[in-house]
Structure 1
Amino acid sequence: MATPFSPLYLSHGSPMIAIEPSPTQDFLKALGPAIERTAGRPRAVLVMSAHTMARGAVLLGSARHHTIHDFGGFPPALYELRYDAPGDPLLAKQAQACLAQAGFDVPVLDEGGLDHGIWTALMHLWPQADIPVVPLSLPATATPESLWRMGQALKGLPPDIQVIGTGSLTHNLRRVFQSGRLQAGLVNLPEDPESAAFRQWVFQHATAGDWPALWDYRRLAPYAVEMHPTDEHWRPFYLAAGMGATQAQAEPGAAVRLHQAVEFGCLALDAYAFGPGAGALAHTLAASAST
C-alpha cells in the first residue's frame, strides 16, 4: 500500500526565510523532495496560513494565484520574488463538500492570492510553483478543537492532496523587538526558558496524541500566553493534526516532529507531521540528511 501524504504543520518565521539561509530554510528545501520520495508528488496542496485570516472560513478557488507581499520594511529583493502558483477550483469544491458533511459552511470564492505564510514555505518545497494551491482561511474566532474537527472532515479529500498548516510554533514579536534582539541581529541566542518549556510541552502532548490537552493548551501549556499573545500563528497546527488523527483520544505516535529550531531565543520554528505516513516521512528526511 502506498504511503499516504502526511498532513504538516510548518513554521515559516520571518519573510526573510525566502532569501536568507538558515537551518529552517534548509529543512524546507529538503522536505519537498522527501515528500515525493515517500508518498509521491501531490496533485495539489490545501493550506491554512496564519496570515489568511477572515471572520469565517473561506476557500480560495481561483484558477490562478498571485503573490501577496503582505509585509513592510524588508529588503527590495524580497518584494521582487514571485510564486504565482496555479489554483485548483475542483479541489476547492471537494474541500467544501467534505467540510459541509461535518457541518461547516465554507464558501468557495473565485479569488486568488498567496500570503507570505504560504509562498515563503512552498517556494522551498516546490520551487517551480507548478503544484496547484488552495488556501483555506483561518477563521478569526475558531477554537483549536473546531479546527481539529475541520481537519477530521478533510479526511474525505482525495488521497493525492497534501494538507499544510503554516505559522510559528511560538510567536511573541514584542519580546523580540522590545529586547533589542532583532536590531542587534541576535538570531542565535540561547533559547529562553519559557520557549523551551512551551516547545517541550507541545512535543510531549503531540507525540502522545493527547488532543484534548492540546485543545486546552492556553490553560494547560506553560507560558502559552507569553509565547502566543495572539495565537493565529499556532492555530493552523490543529487543522493538520485533526486530519492526521484517527480518534479524539490519545493515540501515541500520532505526530512526529520533523524539525526544531529557535531564532532570537524565543521564536520557535518546529515542524510536525501527522498520521500514518509521518514516521516514513521522518525516516526519509533523516536518510537524506545523512548522505
Structure 2
Amino acid sequence: MATHYPSLFISHGAPDFILTRDPAIAALRMLGKRFPQPRAVVVISAHWIRQPIGVTSGETQPTIHDFSGFPDELYQLTYPAKGDPLLARQIVEAVTAGGMESTPVADRGLDHGSWIPLLLMYPEAAVPVIQVSLPSENLQASADLGAALMPLREQGVLIIGSGSSVHNLGALNREARIAPWASRFEDWLQTTVEGNRFDELLDAQQLAPEFGTAHPTPEHFAPLAAAWAAGNQTSPGQRFHHGFMYGNLGMSMFEFH
C-alpha cells in the first residue's frame, strides 16, 4: 500500500540559499530522509503563475536558472529529474474536474523554487517531479488547486508548496537584522496555521499584521494556501522549521496531514 504523505510548505529562500550554511539546509536534507521515497513529487512554486493552470508533462525536466547576478557556481548546478507524463495527465484531469482550466506543458522545466529544495531533499534526482503553476496570486484559487491535488497523497505522491513565509526583497539586509514587523508576521502565521484557522489564512491580506510589508506581492504566500488545502484544511498544520535569511526573508516550513 502506498505511503500517505503529508503535504508541505517550504520556504526556498534566495537563489543562493543552497550555497550558504543557513540552518534550513539541514532541515531540508533531514526532511528528505523522514519519509519513504515517494512515487513522485508535485511542486507548486511561487515562480510559475499561469492560467490555464500548467502542468509540466515532459519525460525530462530541464533545470531553469530563473535568476541573475549570482555566483557562477550557482549556474553550474542542475537537477536532472525525470517527469511522469501519465501522472501529469491525471493531474490535468483532476484540476479540470475541480472546476479550473488546466493544460499540460511539455516544454517547461523546474524553476529554482522547485529544484533547489529538491536538490537538498532528494539529491540523486531519482524521484519523478511535476511542477504545477499557481492559477493566480488569489489565495482562494490556490486553495482550490491544492484541494484538487489532495487525493494524490494517497497514491504515494508528495505535494509541496514552495514560496517564502516572509518575502520583501526591498527589506533584506546582509547584517541579518530581523525587523519587528517580520517577527510579528511570523508569529501570526504560526498561530494561524497551528491554531487551525484556515479561513483566516485565506483572508490574510486583511487580517494579518502588516501583510503588505511581509508580502508586497502575494505569490510567495499563495503556495501555503495550496499546501494546506492539499493536506487537510480542516486540521491544523505544524511548523517544523523557522528562521530568517538575509534579515527578513522568512524561512518557515509547515507540514499538513
- Whether TM exceeds 0.5 here: the answer is yes
Separation in 1, partners of 2:17, 2:238: 23
> Which amino acid counterpart does residue 226 of structure 2 have in structure 1?
L
Larger Rg: 1
Aligned partners of 2:185 and 2:210 also within 8 Å: yes
SS at structure 2 position matched to 1:83: coil
- Deviation at residue 45 of structure 1 after TM alignment: 0.5
Aligned to 1:262: 244
Aligned partners of 1:50 and 1:138 also within 8 Å: yes
Of 58, 63, 67 in structure 2, the residue corresponding to residue 71 of structure 1 is 67
| In the alignment, structure 1 residue 16 sits paired with structure 2 residue 16 | yes
The alignment's C-alpha RMSD in Å is 1.5
| In the alignment, structure 1 residue 194 sits paired with structure 2 residue 190 | no
- Deviation at residue 3 of structure 1 after TM alignment: 5.8
- Deviation at residue 264 of structure 1 after TM alignment: 2.9
**What does 1:58-97 align with in structure 2 at a 5 Å threshold?**
58-97=54-93
Of 136, 143, 148 in structure 2, the residue corresponding to residue 148 of structure 1 is 143
Aligned partners of 1:83 and 1:129 also within 8 Å: yes
Aligned to 1:226: 213
Separation in 2, partners of 1:265, 1:66: 32
Q: Percent identity?
A: 34
SS at structure 2 position matched to 1:51: strand
Separation in 2, partners of 1:44, 1:269: 24
Separation in 2, partners of 1:264, 1:21: 12
* TM-superposition CA deviations, 1:196-238 (whole Å, max 9, x none): 1111111111112211111000000001000100111111111
Relative to the length of structure 2, the TM-score reads 0.95
Aligned to 2:6: 6
> Which amino acid counterpart does residue 232 of structure 2 have in structure 1?
A
Separation in 2, partners of 1:214, 1:235: 10
Separation in 2, partners of 1:130, 1:117: 18
> Which amino acid counterpart does residue 31 of structure 1 have in structure 2?
L
**What does 1:6-45 align with in structure 2 at a 5 Å threshold?**
6-34=6-34, 36=35, 40-45=36-41
Aligned to 2:231: 244
SS at structure 2 position matched to 1:239: helix
Aligned partners of 2:198 and 2:233 also within 8 Å: no
More strand by share: 2
- Deviation at residue 132 of structure 1 after TM alignment: 0.6
Separation in 2, partners of 1:168, 1:246: 19
SS at structure 2 position matched to 1:164: strand
SS at structure 1 position matched to 2:217: coil
Aligned pair count reads 256
Q: 1:104 to 1:14 in 2, by over 3 A?
A: same
- Deviation at residue 54 of structure 1 after TM alignment: 2.2
> Which amino acid counterpart does residue 107 of structure 1 have in structure 2?
T
- Deviation at residue 112 of structure 1 after TM alignment: 3.1
- Deviation at residue 246 of structure 1 after TM alignment: 5.1
Gaps (5+ residues) in structure 1? 276-291
SS at structure 2 position matched to 1:52: strand
Aligned to 2:204: 217
* TM-superposition CA deviations, 1:259-282 (whole Å, max 9, x none): 00012331110000001xxxxxxx
Q: 1:3 to 1:90 in 2, by over 3 A?
A: closer
Separation in 2, partners of 1:267, 1:246: 26
User: Greater shift after overlay, 238-247 or 113-122?
Assistant: 238-247
* TM-superposition CA deviations, 1:99-138 (whole Å, max 9, x none): 1221112111222311111111000000011111110011
Aligned partners of 2:51 and 2:102 also within 8 Å: no
After the TM superposition, list the runs of 4 or more consecutive aligned residues in structure 1 that deviate by more than 3 angstroms.
none
